[in-house]
Amino acid sequence: MVSGSYTCRMILQPTHENIQRAAEVLRNGGVVAVPTETVYGLAARIDQPAAIEEIFRRKGRPRDNPLIVHVAAVEQAYDLTNEHGKQLINAFAARFWPGPLTLVLQASRLVTSYVTAGLDTVAVRMPRHPVFLELINAVGCPVAAPSANISGKPSPTIAEHVETDFGNNVLVLDGGPCEIGLESTVVHVSNGIVHVLRPGVVTAEELATLALDVVEQADSPIVVDVARSPGMKYRHYAPQAHVVLCKTADELRAACQHDIAHTVALVPAYMLEQFSGLQVRALQQQTFYEELRRADALQTRLIVVLCDQSITAQNALYNRIQRASGIEGKGQ
């Protein structure tokens, strides 16, 4: 029997044996950290209320912020919802699952209020990472998994980030760096209209190919319906350092001059050569959270992010940059 607490380093290679070990922890009502193609997740079986509670406790996650439920098969998702939900799953899954798209559906009785934070809907996704899929299959039950970070901090995109936040008492399956590095797109469909509750790498344009209307606010890359997506009202993805945005190379240089020794600049990779004398790093989707964490580890006080058109065109990345800076935020 595997106990819930550990004293040795708990980052494990995702061998068949170690995935079985993680499955045993989940079966015994524990939590484990798992790689996904988006960010690392902190996972528990949805039929284990104490383990779900443990996720909220360890993350310091507000109780009104519901969890995404992960499945390894479409049939497993059917059980979590009603007839209408099944139709939506059929429409979206063929095109986007497994992958970084989360559907908010009417919840069936199988989903407890611990998972939904008392809502009558449930968020469901089939991840694309083979290690996570093997784990879900091994436990034979859908698994709830928010990002494996302390709430509010940047999401973890390598196994070591999980260890930084939770120490060595959570088993982490090491799937390497996350392929996408940002959280999934979250959508809710009502009256045939797809509402994007959280932008992700599945874009409104791609969703529109399903011949449903996709709602997007004209003046913002963010479509937030706070009543429907409780998590969006909280400050997210934020490092310790202050984050400011600028639009041009000149603005960036000026912003860095104030405290050059404690300032890190994040710029589009093609501009890296232009800033000798500054602590400058490449700004890209896959490593954005890693760079925020790296800057904090270096006691950085200010992170200046150069958002030219090549960055603002990337809705999901630009959304996370804005949120890290605290610019965006209804009710934050």
- Binding-site string for ligand AMP from residue 128 to residue 147, where x marks contact by CB under 6 A and - marks none: ------------------xx
- Binding-site string for ligand AMP from residue 64 to residue 93, where x marks contact by CB under 6 A and - marks none: -xxxx-------------------------
183 binds ligand AMP (CB under 6 A): yes
The angle that helices 288-297 and 159-166 make with each other, rounded to 10 degrees, is 40
Q: Which of ligand AMP, Mg ion, none interacts with 150 (beta carbon under 5 to 8 A by kind)?
A: none
Omega of the bond leading into 130 within 30 degrees of 0 (cis) = no
202 binds ligand AMP (CB under 6 A): no
123 binds ligand AMP (CB under 6 A): yes
- Binding-site string for ligand AMP from residue 242 to residue 281, where x marks contact by CB under 6 A and - marks none: ----------------------------------------
Q: Which helix (H) or strand (E) holds 60?
A: none
Contacting residue, 74, 119, 204, 215, with ligand AMP by CB under 6 A: 119
Distance CA 255, CA 242 (A): 12
37 binds ligand AMP (CB under 6 A): no
In the complex with Mg ion, the residue whose CB is nearer, 24 or 160, is 160
In the complex with Mg ion, the residue whose CB is nearer, 59 or 188, is 59
Residue 48's contacts (CB-CB under 8 Å, 6 or more residues apart) are: 26, 29
Q: What's the DSSP call for residue 110? A: T
In the complex with ligand AMP, the residue whose CB is nearer, 207 or 302, is 207
Distance CA 243, CA 95 (A): 36
Share in percent of the chain as helix, strand, coil (round to 5): 35, 20, 45
**Residues at the interface with Mg ion (CB under 5 A):** 147
In the complex with Mg ion, the residue whose CB is nearer, 60 or 177, is 60
Helix then strand count (H, E) for the chain reads: 12, 15
Nearest distance from C-beta of residue 264 to Mg ion, angstroms: 23
In the complex with Mg ion, the residue whose CB is nearer, 45 or 323, is 323
Number of Cβ within a 10 Å radius of residue 37: 19
The 302-306 sheet, strands edge to edge: 242-246, 302-306, 263-268, 279-283
Q: Which residues here bind ligand AMP, judged by CB under 6 A?
A: 65-68, 104, 116, 119, 121-123, 146-147, 183, 186, 197-198, 228-232
